Every structure is written in structure tokens, then in C-alpha cells.
Amino acid sequence: MAMHRLLLILITFLALTACEDILNKEPLGQLSEGNFFQTSHDAVQGINAAYQYLLFNNDNKNFYWAFGTVTSDDAIAGGDGSRPGIVELDFLTHTARTEEFNDFWRVNYAGITQCNSVLENVPVIDMDEGLKNQILGEALFLRAYYYFNLAQVFGDVPLMTQILP
């Protein structure tokens, strides 16, 4: 019986230590910033990704209008109360925890981060200079636009011109 136990422990030990190389594989089908920006096609995909944050203005998540319109006397929150943050804006009872402010901040800074990624990685890609300059110009414009949106709502906001580690 002791021999069976010893054999079982030995087999278990060998099974657990034999899989180390299999378990420590690099994530093979996943892109990261380090291996993504290689070609002009990647650069175009990178700048296209920076545009996705403009969709925040659609998809029933655009609260940018609410920060100026609902807080004035130009509009009222109305509705069934399914967006309590808009009602808070209407009655000027909003706080730093109001979801609309947090979403607006997060989405615009995500757009800025994507633009910074393009601005840091695209210049080193060997590609057509005209296309490269167009992509870099679009990234600069979009980053400025996202900052403009943030400044309109929050005033002076932190300026990030590079990707933070």
C-alpha cells in the first residue's frame, strides 16, 4: 500500500512539473502594442480605432449636450427617470460620482490614449510618407478634439502627450 502511495505521489509530481513549458507560452493569437504596428495596414487600423470613441456621441450615450443644454433652461431631463444622472444635471444636484461625467471622462481619455499610441508607433513604420503624414495629422486632430471636449466640460484637464506605462 505504501508503494502505491509513493508511486501515486511520484506520478503526480512528474505530471505537475512536466507541463511548465506548455503553461508558459506567449499569448500566440493576441496583438499587443509591441507587435501590432508593423505595416501601413496596421497604421490605418490604429487610426481607425481612434475614431471609435466618437461613437460615444451616438449609441444613446451622448451626454455632452446634457452638460450645457439640460443644465440651462433650454431643455429638461424628462423621460422615465432611467438615466438618473441626467435628472441630477437638470436639477443641478450632480456630483463627481454622476455616471455621465465618469463615462465622458473615460471615453475621451481612451480616445486620447489611442491617438498617443498612433503618434508614438506610426513614425517608425516604413510606409508611404503621404499616408503616414495623413494618419499622424488625423491622430493630432482627434487628440485635440478629445481634449477640447474635456476642456468644455471640466476646464483644465491633465495633458497626456505620450502613453503612460
Residue 44: per-residue pLDDT: 95
CA–CA distance, 113 with 109 (Å, rounded to integer)? 6
Chunked in runs of 10, what are the mean pLDDT values of the chain (165 residues)? 78 68 65 78 94 73 70 74 78 82 88 96 94 97 95 92 82
Residue 116: per-residue pLDDT: 96
Residue 92: per-residue pLDDT: 81
Residue 9: per-residue pLDDT: 82
